Amino acid sequence: MNLEKVVFGFFVLLAATLNVGFFIGDIGDPELHNSYELYAAVVVNLIATVLKFGDRTQIGAVHLATSLVADLQLISAALVWGYASYVADVLTREATASVVSLSGGALLANIVSVVLLVVETVSFHRR
């Protein structure tokens, strides 16, 4: 068993599951979307991105691209949440909907990354 692949797969799947956990719920209800879960999704996605550096294959490049998209979406969501909560001092339904929508885009990128991981694993041939 390759420990590097285990750690890589762990963080890819954890990033996706944290994102799903934040995304699920009424799109405009801030009480159903935990800010700590959003920030955990951001951190785990950034860790997954770092782990994707160094893979020089074509599928590795696509893995990195999906991770960068998820990072961009989640960081944007965190910035909107932070602005609405601390600068505007009110987290409205509209702001919550924007945050959840951005995390939905990241979720799509994470799903693509998980599919790529499964395809890569299934197509692996032992020598």
The domain of 84 spans 3-122
Indicate whether 23 belongs to any domain: yes
Q: Looking at residue 54, what is its pLDDT?
A: 79
Separation CA 115–CA 112 (nearest Å): 5
pLDDT given for residue 90 in this prediction: 87
Look at residue 92 and tell me if it is in a domain: yes
Per-residue confidence (pLDDT) for residue 32, from 0 to 100: 92
Quick one: pLDDT at residue 47?
96
pLDDT at 126: 65
pLDDT at 123: 86
Q: Residue 27 falls within a domain, yes or no?
A: yes
Give domain status of residue 89, yes or no: yes
Place of tokens 């890569």: 120
Torsion of CA 25, 76, 56, 10, to 10 degrees: -30
What is the model's pLDDT at position 56?
83
Q: 127 lies in a domain? A: no
Output helix, strand, coil percentages for the chain, rounded to the nearest 5. 80, 0, 20
Residue 7 resides in a domain: yes
The series of mean pLDDT values per 10 residues for the chain, 127 residues long, is: 89 96 93 94 96 86 95 97 92 94 97 93 76
How many independent structural domains does the chain possess?
Answer: 1
* Res 2: pLDDT: 84
Contact predicate 111/70, CB 8 Å:
no
- Single-letter residue type at 17: T
